[in-house]
Amino acid sequence: MATMKDVAAKSGFSIATVSAVINNAPIVSDKAREKILQAIDELGYKPNAIARSLKNARTSSIGIIVRDITSPIYAALVSGMEEAGWANNYEVFLCNTEDDVDRERKYIDNLVSKRVDGVIITTSQIVRKDFYDKLQENNIPYVFLNRKPNELREHEYFVGANNAVASEKVIDYLHRLGYKKIAFICGPQHFSTFRERYVGFLHGMNKYGLSVYDQWVWTSDYKRKAGYEYANQMIENNNLPEIIICSSALLAFGVFLACKEKGVRIPEDVALISLDHNEYDELIDLSSVDLQHRAMGKMAMQILIDQLSRNSFNQRQQQILLEPELVIRKSCGHHLRSGH
Amino acid sequence: MATMKDVAAKSGFSIATVSAVINNAPIVSDKAREKILQAIDELGYKPNAIARSLKNARTSSIGIIVRDITSPIYAALVSGMEEAGWANNYEVFLCNTEDDVDRERKYIDNLVSKRVDGVIITTSQIVRKDFYDKLQENNIPYVFLNRKPNELREHEYFVGANNAVASEKVIDYLHRLGYKKIAFICGPQHFSTFRERYVGFLHGMNKYGLSVYDQWVWTSDYKRKAGYEYANQMIENNNLPEIIICSSALLAFGVFLACKEKGVRIPEDVALISLDHNEYDELIDLSSVDLQHRAMGKMAMQILIDQLSRNSFNQRQQQILLEPELVIRKSCGHHLRSGH
DNA sequence: GTGAAAGCGCTAACAC
DNA sequence: GTGTTAGCGCTTTCAC
pLDDT tens, per residue, chain A with 340 residues = 899 999 999 999 999 999 999 999 888 999 999 999 999 999 999 999 999 999 999 999 999 999 999 999 999 999 999 999 999 999 999 999 999 999 999 999 999 999 999 999 999 999 999 999 999 999 999 999 999 999 999 889 999 999 999 999 999 999 999 999 999 999 999 999 999 999 999 999 999 999 999 999 999 999 999 999 999 999 999 999 999 999 999 999 999 999 999 999 999 999 999 999 999 999 999 999 999 999 999 999 999 999 998 755 556 789 999 999 999 999 998 655 544 4
- Report, in angstroms and rounded to the nearest whole number, the Rg of chain A calculated over CA atoms: 26
SS (H, E, C) chain B: CCCHHHHHHHHCCCHHHHHHHHCCCCCCCHHHHHHHHHHHHHHCCCCCHHHHHHHHCCCCEEEEEECCCCCHHHHHHHHHHHHHHHHCCCEEEEEECCCCHHHHHHHHHHHHHCCCCEEEECCCCCCCCHHHHHHHHCCCCEEEECCCCCCCCCCCEEEEECHHHHHHHHHHHHHHHCCCCEEEECCCCCCHHHHHHHHHHHHHHHHCCCCCCHHHEECCCCCHHHHHHHHHHHHHCCCCCCEEEECCHHHHHHHHHHHHHHCCCCCCCCEEEECCCCCCHHHHCCEEEECCHHHHHHHHHHHHHHHHHCCCCCCCCCEEEECCEEECCCCCCHHHHCCC
Contact in structure between B333 and B270 (CB atoms under 8 Å) = no
Closest CA relative to residue A59, chosen from B281, B183, B96, B115: B115
Task: Write the DSSP symbol of residue A38.
Answer: H
Question: For chain A, how far is it from start to end, CA to CA, in angstroms?
Answer: 74
pLDDT tens figures, B168-226: 999 999 999 999 999 999 999 999 999 999 999 999 999 999 999 999 999 999 999 99
Is strand D within 7 Å of residue A15 (CB)?
yes
Q: Which residue is nearest to nucleotide D6 (CA to C1')?
A: B55
Contacts of B51 in chain A (CB under 8 A): 54
Closest CA relative to residue A213, chosen from A246, A180, A188: A180
The pLDDT of residue A333: 87
Interchain pair A113, B49: CB under 8 A: yes
pTM score above 0.85: yes
How far is Cα B192 from Cα B188, in angstroms, rounded to an integer? 9
Interchain pair A94, B93: CB under 8 A: yes
Give, as ranges, the nucleotides of chain D with any atom within 7 Å of a protein CB: 1-5, 7-13
Nearest CA in chain B to A278: B70
Interchain pair B46, A112: CB under 8 A: yes
The pLDDT of residue A340: 43
Contacts of B134 in chain A (CB under 8 A): 44, 46
Other CB atoms within 10 Å distance of the CB of residue A202: 18
Nearest CA in chain B to A68: B79
Q: State which H helix or E strand residue A6 sits in.
A: helix A4-11
Contacts of B79 in chain A (CB under 8 A): 68-70, 96
Interchain pair A93, B96: CB under 8 A: no
Contact in structure between B142 and B308 (CB atoms under 8 Å) = no
Q: Which residue is nearest to nucleotide C13 (CA to C1')?
A: B16
Q: State which H helix or E strand residue A296 sits in.
A: helix A293-309
Which residues have C-beta within 8 Å of that of residue B280, sequence separation ≥ 6? A253, A280, A283, B72, B249, B253
**Cβ < 7 Å from strand D, B residues 136-165:** none
User: In whole numbers, what is the pLDDT of chain B averaged over residues?
Assistant: 94
The pLDDT of residue B333: 87
Query: Is residue B339 pLDDT above 50, yes or no?
Result: no
Phi, psi of A195 (to 5 degrees): -65, -45
Residue A212 is which amino acid? Answer: V
Q: State which H helix or E strand residue A272 sits in.
A: strand A271-274
Angle separating helix axes B72-87 and B293-309, nearest 10 degrees: 30
pLDDT tens figures, B108-124: 999 999 999 999 999 99
pLDDT band for position B338 (cuts 50, 70, 90)? very low
Is strand D within 7 Å of residue A53 (CB)?
no
Query: Is residue B340 pLDDT above 50, yes or no?
Result: no
Give, as ranges, the nucleotides of chain C with any atom within 7 Å of a protein CB: 1-5, 7-13
The pLDDT of residue A317: 86
* A to B CB pairs, distance under 8 Å: 127
Looking at CA atoms only, how far is residue A30 from chain B in angstroms? 25
The pLDDT of residue A310: 74
Interchain pair A78, B95: CB under 8 A: no
The residue of A22, A70, A253, A272 whose CB has the most chain B CBs within 10 angstroms, and thus the best one to mutate to test that interface, is A70
